[in-house]
Amino acid sequence: MARMIKIFDTTLRDGEQSPGASMNVEEKIMVAKQLARLGVDIIEAGFAYSSPGDFDAVHRIAQEVEGPTICSLARARPEDIDRAWEALKGAPKVRIHTFLSASDIHLKHQFRMTRDEAKKRAVEMVQRARSYVQDVEFSPMDASRADPNYLFEVVEAVIAAGAGTVNIPDTVGYAIPQEFGRLIRDIRQRVSNSHLAVISVHCHNDLGLAVANSLAAVMEGAGQVECTINGIGERAGNTSLEEIAMGLRTRRDLYEADTQIHTEEISKTSRLVSKITGMVVQPNKAIVGANAFAHASGIHQDGLLKDKTTYEIMRPESVGLVESKMVMGKLSGRHAFRQRLEDLGYKLTDEEVNHAFERFKKLADHKKEIYEEDLEVIVSEELAKMADRITLKSFRVMSGTDQVPTATVELEVDGKAVSQTGTGDGPVDAVYRTIAAITQTKSTLVMYVVKAITGGTDAQGEVSVRVQEDGKTVSGHGADTDIITASARAYLSALNKLAYLTAKQAQGEQKVNLI
Q: How far is CA 206 from the centre of its chain?
A: 18
Name which residue leads in pLDDT, 370 or 63: 63
Q: Is the pLDDT of residue 20 over 60?
A: yes
Q: What is the mean pLDDT of residues 94-109?
A: 97
Considering only CA atoms, which of 135, 1, 164 is closest in space to residue 71? 135
Question: From CA 226, how far away is CA 6, in angstroms rounded?
Answer: 9
pLDDT band at 300 (very low <50, low <70, confident <90, very high): low
Q: What is the mean pLDDT of residues 4-31?
A: 89
Considering only CA atoms, which of 182, 178, 235 is closest in space to residue 204? 235
Q: Is the pLDDT of residue 290 over 90?
A: no
Q: Is the pLDDT of residue 309 over 90?
A: no
Residue pair 204/238 in contact by the 8 Å Cβ criterion = yes
Task: List helix spans (H) across 191-265.
Answer: 210-219, 241-250, 252-255
3-class secondary-structure state, position 158? helix
For the segment 418-451, what is each residue's pLDDT rounded down to a tens digit? 999 999 999 999 999 999 999 999 999 999 989 8
Question: From CA 72, how far away is CA 233, in angstroms rounded?
Answer: 17
Instruction: List, in sequence order, every residue forming a beta bridge with 238; answer none if it has no partner.
Output: 204
Q: Is the pLDDT of residue 506 over 70?
A: no
For the segment 130-183, what is each residue's pLDDT rounded down to a tens digit? 999 999 999 999 999 999 999 999 999 999 999 999 999 999 999 999 999 999
Name which residue leads in pLDDT, 176 or 493: 176
Say what the pTM is: 0.80
Name which residue leads in pLDDT, 483 or 359: 483
Instruction: List, in sequence order, every residue forming a beta bridge with 316; answer none if it has no partner.
Output: none
Q: What is the mean pLDDT of residues 452-477?
A: 82
Name which residue leads in pLDDT, 50 or 297: 50
CA distances from residue 104 to 107, 115, 147, 182, 200 in whole angstroms, order as listed: 5, 8, 8, 20, 22
Q: Is the pLDDT of residue 294 over 80?
A: no
Give rounded-to-5 percent helix, strand, coil for the chain.
Answer: 45, 25, 30
Name which residue leads in pLDDT, 330 or 108: 108
Q: Is the pLDDT of residue 121 over 90?
A: yes
CA distances from residue 322 to 264, 265, 283, 290, 346 in whole angstroms, order as listed: 10, 11, 17, 13, 19
Question: From CA 464, how far away is CA 64, in angstroms rounded?
Answer: 29
Question: From CA 434, how far away is CA 423, in angstroms rounded?
Answer: 7
Write out the H or E segment, with its range, that includes residue 436. helix 427-439
Residues in the chain: 515
Residue pair 495/439 in contact by the 8 Å Cβ criterion = yes
Q: Is the pLDDT of residue 508 over 60?
A: no
Q: What is the mean pLDDT of residues 382-405?
A: 84
Phi, psi of 466 (to 5 degrees): -135, 130
Question: From CA 393, how far away is CA 400, in angstroms rounded?
Answer: 24
How many other C-beta atoms lie within 10 A of the C-beta of residue 497?
A: 24
Q: Is the pLDDT of residue 382 over 90?
A: no
Portion of the chain with pLDDT greater than 90, in percent: 64
Instruction: List, in sequence order, every residue forming a beta bridge with 448; answer none if it has no partner.
Output: 465
Q: Is the pLDDT of residue 392 over 70?
A: yes
Least confident of 217-226, 252-261, 361-370: 361-370
Q: What is the mean pLDDT of residues 455-481?
A: 84
Determine the pLDDT at residue 497: 84
pLDDT band at 361 (very low <50, low <70, confident <90, very high): confident
Considering only CA atoms, which of 378, 334, 329, 384 is closest in space to residue 356? 378
* C-alpha torsion sign, points 76, 78, 80, 83: positive
Q: How far is CA 276 from the centre of its chain?
A: 8
Least confident of 69-73, 201-205, 384-388, 480-484: 384-388
Cα dihedral 262→264→265→271 (10° resolution): 150
Per DSSP, 230 falls in state G
Write out the H or E segment, with its range, that includes residue 352. helix 350-364
Q: What average pLDDT does the chain have?
A: 89
3-class secondary-structure state, position 474? strand
pLDDT band at 56 (very low <50, low <70, confident <90, very high): very high
Q: What is the mean pLDDT of residues 352-367?
A: 82
Determine the pLDDT at residue 388: 78
For the segment 251-287, what is each residue's pLDDT rounded down to a tens digit? 999 999 999 999 999 999 999 999 888 888 988 999 9
Per DSSP, 20 falls in state B
Determine the pLDDT at residue 101: 97
